[in-house]
Structure 1
Amino acid sequence: MADSRRWVWWGVALGACLFVYFLHPILTPFLIAIVLAYMFDPVVDRLERFGFSRTWGVITVFALFIVILMTLLLVLVPMLAKQLLKLYELAPQILDWLQHSAMPWVQAKLGLSDGFWKFDKIKAAITEHMGQTTDIVGVVLSQATASSLALIGFLANLVLIPVVAFYLLRDWDIMMAKIRSLLPREREEQIVSLAKECHDVLGAFVRGQLLVMLALGVIYSAGLMLLGLELGLLIGLMAGLAAIVPYMGFIIGIGAALTAGLFQFGGDLYPMIGIVAVFMVGQALEGMVLTPLLVGDRIGLHPVAVIFAILAGGELFGFTGVLLALPVAAVIMVLVRHVHDLYKDSQVYKGEEPEL
């Protein structure tokens, strides 16, 4: 009987893998909707405690989310488009500096051979494309409208995501209760306990680390723009996104900001000190305020596990795999922890002889 149950569970796991493999091209909007429902469920639950019905709580959360999102898009998209165009125009100058200043210095310090790195072809390619167009938004739109079918599919997914997320969020508690009612009775408590651990691990990342990333993006962007850095918004948002791995956002952001500042301010000391100060303040706030407040002492995903999960998911299933990577990594992390505990309590680890 135990063997038959084990085979049933293996069959369910195999069926889930095959389902994702064959249907992953259409799963993306549903997975994004599930992520939104998962993230906003605690907010709706809190509104219910204040007397809102479940439906009106979901409507309120969606209305606020759409207003904030549209405001950000109307403000940020034009600014980002201008900064992307500025970066596009600066690319040949950056390559010139790398070829004629940075690389000769590296070559002299490391004793490398002459011409070990060529930028001529890269520079020529960028210059050629700049001659063809100066409107990045136009390039993106032309690519997006190259296939009318792809554009229709994109718009359909864009409409589908909020619709699916609304119904999932409205019925979230009901679905969780039904899933729990289907669990094997003798294993219900154990499975629920494992699911709670997975929820804690994933929640510490999704609801904690993502908020930290957002806060750092705002801090870095605001600080760099106050200093007058032309690419401040772009670099700040990039550093915030890179903060998905601790310290990566700081390293990438300060490197990109100092490079941009070198070209814009000509190596003037005070703006460069200001750039360093912005990232030092951001890093201090992350360690002393943001992470303790938003993530707390919950055990999240290890940075190496995050990198590996995202790369592996993207390689196997594309963007769908990226969305599935972190939940799967959270489950695997919890299971590995329990296997570790079982091993430490086993006779194999302790070297004890079984009692007769």
Structure 2
Amino acid sequence: MHVPDGFFDASTSVATGLIAAGAVGFSLQRANREIRETGPALAGLTAAFVFAVQMVNFPVGAGTSGHLLGGALAAALVGPWTAVLVMSTVLLVQGLLFADGGLTALGTNITLMGVVTVLVGYFLTRALLQVLPRRMGSVVPAATAGALLSVPVAALAFTGLYAIGGAVDIPLGKLATAMVGWHVLVGIGEAVITAAVLSAVVANRPDLVYAARHLQRDLVLVDADGNTSTVAPDKPIAAKPAGRTLGVGVAVSLLVAGGLSLFASAHPDGLEFVGAKLGFESAAEDSAVAGSPLADYGVSGIGNAEVSGALAGIIGVLVTIVVGLAVAKLASVRANRAS
């Protein structure tokens, strides 16, 4: 659902830019507690993984594809405010290096994919955890439902923005029906990926899943004198990811971006498909960085498409890790100075 330049008028793009800037600024202030529990490395790794999986478009039928948005997954893993920073990092790298999403539309993309999906996914996850059995196994279905809903809600938010400042006059009822209809199917794929990833993490390192920390069992601590005490679930202990965990995460991200992405569907995604059907695709403008050496997820000068795509994916993962880590550290510094 990467919105290109040209879909919205200037005032709408400025407005979403301000919304995105405000959300990122607020998240920089609020993410410190989340980052302090697991360290900034997990935020950088999550950003890299989301970047990698977004490269893998999956078919949803009738010549249309979709890809992970990742907001609900990121929120479940690292918390909502860090997730906004994670998604903004991914979208920034994609927009600047790979010309994926317009630069004047960066605020729109952050608002839709970095704010709407995160908040919808996270708050539905938390709401469901209030009614589901209090156990670790409840996290996966709760976050899966959050992921499923977050995608069509983001599509509906796009429709709302288009009603305000769309570049081409089209029937809004048809736009809403098409966007939500196709993105419900994309949301099913989003839910499947979210469930698979969270199931693996919960099974191996549940302490690294932000949404699951309040479900940890009471820990019995014994001091040197034999006295015991417990750590209640409302004060969970979150371990930082070990070097092996980080190494596995980086390796998986590189494998997905540098290998699995080569088998991605070549069909247009839901937004592109709807744009072509309803006639507003023609309003799209080339990004200002369309001439980037990494534009369209390929490395210029390399004739072999598979090698070029794999190398671009690997570069993207490494850059996203670095930028994500830097943003997470910035959030910690800002919060420490404020306190």
Give the greater-gyration-radius structure (CA).
1
Q: Which has the higher helix share?
A: 1
RCO (CA 8 Å, sep 6+): is it higher in 1 or 2?
Answer: 2
Asked if TM exceeds 0.5, the reply is: no
TM-score, normalised to structure 2, is 0.25
Q: Which has the higher strand share?
A: 2
TM-score, normalised to structure 1, is 0.24
